[in-house]
Structure 1
Amino acid sequence: MNILFITADQWRGDCLSALGHPAVRTPNLDRLAADGVMFTRHFSNMTPCGPSRACLHTGMYGFNHRSIRNGTPLDRRHATLAEELRRAGADPVLLGYTDTSVDPRGLAATDPRLTSYEGVAPGYRPVCLLLEDNRPWLDHLRAKGYGDLSVDEVYQGHLGEPARFRAEDSETAFLTDRAIAYLDERQPHPFVMHLSYIKPHPPFVAAAPWHASVDPANLPPLRRQPSPALEGRLHPWLAAHLERPLGAWFRRHFAGSADLDGLALDRMRAVYLGLVEEVDHHVGRLLDHLAATGRLDDTLVVFTADHGEMAGDHWMIGKSGFFPQAFHVPLIARLPGGARGRRVEAFTEHVDLMPSLLEAAGLPVPLQCDGHALTGFLRGLEPRAWRQAVHYEHDVGDLETGWHRTALGLDDHACGVAVRLDRRHALVQFAALPPLLFDHAADPDWLVDRAADPACAGVRAEMASAMLSWRMRYAERRLSSGLLTPSGPIGRFE
């Protein structure tokens, strides 16, 4: 069996036309869902990119793998999905990136990997590595006659204008072309491919026609208070965050969070969705190529995103914080011989994907994995017991600037945020700031904090107890699953 594991960057979970989004059209992923299984309540376990992908590639929660920020090293003792597949004789290849920060222990001080968070998860063989400098793609553009451009030059221009490159030369098109070329070279041998698209991650600049493929008039209403000042009353962290400068590309178009409004914001949201549609188009090209070469029915296809995007909700851009828009992501999978057209509403998480891929490949799942295989769902079965809530985490610290110390008075180890979300409530637990409690069923936009409401004291205690039980249940167990006895070791060790 072949494995095609596709991730998009910053694609929020409601941005699929199969889920009824009023503006975006994703016919190819809709088609994949109709021919496989769509998981409607799937969540990333961490943000931003590096921590989320650490969960994907190790099957571990953030409180276990501890690669909690972009640039925080991933302990080399944690096995990765690619390493497990390689040990079994596969050749996992990477097109794109994994944002895996290397474990610095034992490396020379001059090792170039120590100057970037953009390392490659162990076990993958890069076929087309696209990092922030985008060198292979820029070389491609130069060969096509665009000139010798930098990434900033490629993505310059006014908000909503078409990119200076043609659609067939976009970064997404380029990576898809390389994936198809690799498959042609690999035929007819089995393959394991991780295809990691950067889009729809910023800069929100799209080539024609994708820059205008979504009508801003069809955008859904924003979920937020009338002003950032009112929004910030929800929590001290949120108030401080909304005062922070926006990222470099956004500062070209918006002065700050208070400027995320009106026609400019609608234009930006529409371009973001246009980039979503572009990725969908190229995923369709890849699926069509697999079908035309007779390999689709022998391939496990998995599509997801590392995390979501706030897109103006709560006056925020990006993926910081605790709101579900930053963590709810698509998950669609098609297993050879598996269920067709199934929609799963159970809570699923990124930590489930490594166990799922290994089990589907007939391989054992390491003890380190905190997730649970989804192969039962993919085969049309209903697991006897399944989680009734999801958990996700974020770290608000900024070790480079020390922002968390000056703005919030937090030390470096007091920046954690953990969320437990079930079908009715959401508990947001900060390590050293006040908690939040939302009635998710009655207040799906998370506008009213109920943590101090006496009527909700029982719910808050129950949610906190459940979160503690989750942490205790999934504490690292690679040695605690065994025992040394007079008769020798029993149990299981890793």
Structure 2
Amino acid sequence: MSLPVKGTLVPPATTDDKRPNVLFITVDQWRGDLAPRQNQWGPTPNLNDLCNNATRFAQHYTQAYPCGPARAGLLTGLYPHKHRVVQNGSPLDAHYRTLAQAARPRGYRPVLFGYTDTQADPRTLTQDDPAWANEEGIAPGFTAKCLLTASAKPWIADLISKGHPVTDLQAGRDGVYQMAPFGAPTCIKAEDSETAFLTNQVLDYLSSNNQEPFFIHLSYIAPHPPFAASQEWLNTVSVPDIASIKNTKTGATPHPLIDFHHRTQNLSSFAPNISGPVHTATDQTKTTIRHAYGALMAEVDHHIGRVFDHLKTLNLWENTIIVVSGDHGEQMFDHGLLGKVGWHDAAAHVPLIIRVPGAKPAQSIHHFTQSIDLFPTLVDLLGLETDVNLDGKSLMPFLNGAPPPDWRDCVFWSHDFRDLANLGAERYFGLPSQLCNCHVVRTGSFKYVHFPTLPPVIHDLSNDPGEHINIAQTSLGQSLRFEGMERLLNMRITHENEILSCMQAQNGHFHGKSQNWPTG
């Protein structure tokens, strides 16, 4: 296929056209600095091979975390200050169009294997609707072919049918992993794992799907916790010695937010059958968890390879656009933390690989890119209707081998640590929920972290790439703080909501830019 020219609208689809297929794969909690072709803890031969025929974006960042906010940005192309999905369970405003909704008028019927962690807009529901207060709902525009959430009902049913003694059905996927002691391989055979099961569903769908083109969103939960893997994949991993991992130290006086997480994070939230504070975990515990994390990466790569092989067998490979990315990263004991918290690169830096048949292969891009760039990129690749409210920028110039000279020189993300259900952060800091957040500006040389009330953080990344020293009170820090605040303010002004302000009525006509509203 040839790449469309940016800004050119492709005519409506016909039954005999050659619209490309789309395989959009997300991996959950995969750190960007452990992405294929970078530092790797487990073998990823299939993704490495994909990089030989694709464009790899080495400095790619999410705009929010945890899962719900990250995926909201990924699927809407909007910064979190616009879509306002700030925590898991925050509703997605129905006014905002998702990538799946944008694809439907072009003749695609986007299908989901996995999950999107989308809470529907409650203003569009009644309280007896199954989507009411369901934080693991489906993003608008997708049809779920295999919905695999934390309850893991389809997978557990498959395990039971194969004779696996799953006893705690109410615990969902966590209950399956709790069947083995901490540090031991899972009780589930590699061929029956969650990742294998979901992949099998996709392979069956591809084999039986006679409707082209397809638009598949394959959303793997691995390498997300629980950090436990089968023996087959544990055998493939070689984790670096603790002393060689750069960010194991936590600092003598942690920032109040980091101190809060040190006091509240427990290992029981991340691995089966172990408990205790995360920040005081032993070296052996850290190594065991890192080992499982690397094994889960290797497993995901293997099953992605199975999908690729199946596409080639079905003669679909040459007409399929492939996107592989992540929702957010993982601290993996950097700064005494696990999960996706704080402001560090470990939580925000994610993989991105885009393969377009006919595009320039084997490219490694080191410009800053953002999760919100994926939506406008697929708008261009698929000839979808443009949307003036999108915040991201199309990556088409990079795919065409011509990086633009005026590309961005920084990235932005935010993290909201409110807890409306338990008010844990609110009580700890003595703050209202709307002030429990931080906003990050990350350039090539420094990072500025803005808090509404807590102390600011500034890292001189040129001299402190591990983000250990807060220089906010130094003369250099004061200068960088001013620059960071200016960059943050300019971003917010530049990316205000344009759903209606892009239009002006005068003398019976609308002037400005037309706007697309969600449809179906």
Judge same fold: TM > 0.5, yes or no: yes
1:67 aligns with 2:85: yes
1:246 aligns with 2:272: no
The match for 2:141 is 123
Instruction: State which of 160, 163, 176 in structure 1 corresponds to 2:186.
Output: 163
How far off is 1:187 after superposition? Answer: 4.2
The match for 1:19 is 38
Once structures 1 and 2 are overlaid, which stretch shifts more, 259-268 or 305-314?
A: 259-268
CA distance in 2 between counterparts of 1:18 and 1:370 reads 29
CA distance in 1 between counterparts of 2:36 and 2:407 reads 27
Q: Cα–Cα, structure 1 residues 160 and 373, in superposed 2: closer, same or farther, change >3 Å?
A: same
Instruction: State which of 449, 462, 466 in structure 1 corresponds to 2:487.
Output: 466
Q: What's the TM-score, normalizing by structure 1?
A: 0.96
Once structures 1 and 2 are overlaid, which stretch shifts more, 201-210 or 454-463?
A: 454-463
Equivalenced residue count is: 490
CA distance in 1 between counterparts of 2:333 and 2:283 reads 11
How far off is 1:457 after superposition? Answer: 2.1
1:372 aligns with 2:390: no
Structure 1 unaligned spans of 5+: none
Letter in 2 for 1:153: G
CA distance in 1 between counterparts of 2:473 and 2:498 reads 36
SS of the aligned residue for 1:365 comes to coil
The match for 2:254 is 234
Letter in 1 for 2:486: S
Q: Cα–Cα, structure 1 residues 188 and 364, in superposed 2: closer, same or farther, change >3 Å?
A: closer
Q: Is the Cα contact below 8 Å between 2:83 and 2:96 reproduced in 1?
A: yes
Q: Cα–Cα, structure 1 residues 220 and 27, in superposed 2: closer, same or farther, change >3 Å?
A: farther
Correspondence 1:11-160 to 2 at 5 A:
11-21=30-40, 23-149=41-167, 150=169, 151-156=173-178, 157-160=180-183
1:356 aligns with 2:374: no
SS of the aligned residue for 1:253 comes to coil
Q: Cα–Cα, structure 1 residues 258 and 490, in superposed 2: closer, same or farther, change >3 Å?
A: closer
The match for 2:473 is 452
Deviation string, structure 1 residues 10-43 (Cα, Å, up to 9, x no partner): 000111351143x322111111111100000000
Once structures 1 and 2 are overlaid, which stretch shifts more, 314-323 or 452-461?
A: 452-461
CA distance in 1 between counterparts of 2:451 and 2:361 reads 41
Deviation string, structure 1 residues 239-278 (Cα, Å, up to 9, x no partner): 1121014264447324102332311111110110100010
Q: Cα–Cα, structure 1 residues 438 and 114, in superposed 2: closer, same or farther, change >3 Å?
A: same
SS of the aligned residue for 1:466 comes to helix
The match for 1:7 is 26
Letter in 2 for 1:411: P
CA distance in 2 between counterparts of 1:486 and 1:115 reads 45
Deviation string, structure 1 residues 209-243 (Cα, Å, up to 9, x no partner): 113321235567344464x5x45x23111111210
1:320 aligns with 2:341: yes
SS of the aligned residue for 1:345 comes to strand
Once structures 1 and 2 are overlaid, which stretch shifts more, 406-415 or 181-190?
A: 181-190
The match for 2:13 is none
Q: Cα–Cα, structure 1 residues 343 and 245, in superposed 2: closer, same or farther, change >3 Å?
A: closer
CA distance in 2 between counterparts of 1:189 and 1:6 reads 18
Identity %: 37
Q: Is the Cα contact below 8 Å between 1:160 and 1:267 reproduced in 2?
A: yes
Q: Cα–Cα, structure 1 residues 246 and 116, in superposed 2: closer, same or farther, change >3 Å?
A: farther
Runs of 4+ in 1 over 4 A off after TM superposition: 217-220
Once structures 1 and 2 are overlaid, which stretch shifts more, 101-110 or 80-89?
A: 101-110
SS of the aligned residue for 1:19 comes to coil
Letter in 2 for 1:155: Y
CA distance in 2 between counterparts of 1:88 and 1:41 reads 31
How far off is 1:9 after superposition? Answer: 0.5
Structure 2 unaligned spans of 5+: 1-19, 516-520
Correspondence 1:268-279 to 2 at 5 A:
268-279=289-300
CA distance in 1 between counterparts of 2:489 and 2:265 reads 35
CA distance in 2 between counterparts of 1:455 and 1:148 reads 58
Letter in 2 for 1:88: R
SS of the aligned residue for 1:283 comes to helix
Q: Cα–Cα, structure 1 residues 188 and 80, in superposed 2: closer, same or farther, change >3 Å?
A: closer
Deviation string, structure 1 residues 286-334 (Cα, Å, up to 9, x no partner): 1111122211110000000110000010000100111110010100010
How far off is 1:383 after superposition? Answer: 1.8
SS of the aligned residue for 2:58 comes to strand
CA distance in 2 between counterparts of 1:381 and 1:208 reads 45
Correspondence 1:424-435 to 2 at 5 A:
424-435=445-456
How far off is 1:487 after superposition? Answer: 6.2
Q: Cα–Cα, structure 1 residues 208 and 323, in superposed 2: closer, same or farther, change >3 Å?
A: same
Q: Cα–Cα, structure 1 residues 55 and 345, in superposed 2: closer, same or farther, change >3 Å?
A: same
Once structures 1 and 2 are overlaid, which stretch shifts more, 159-168 or 391-400?
A: 159-168
Deviation string, structure 1 residues 395-437 (Cα, Å, up to 9, x no partner): 0111111112211111011012110001000000112211111
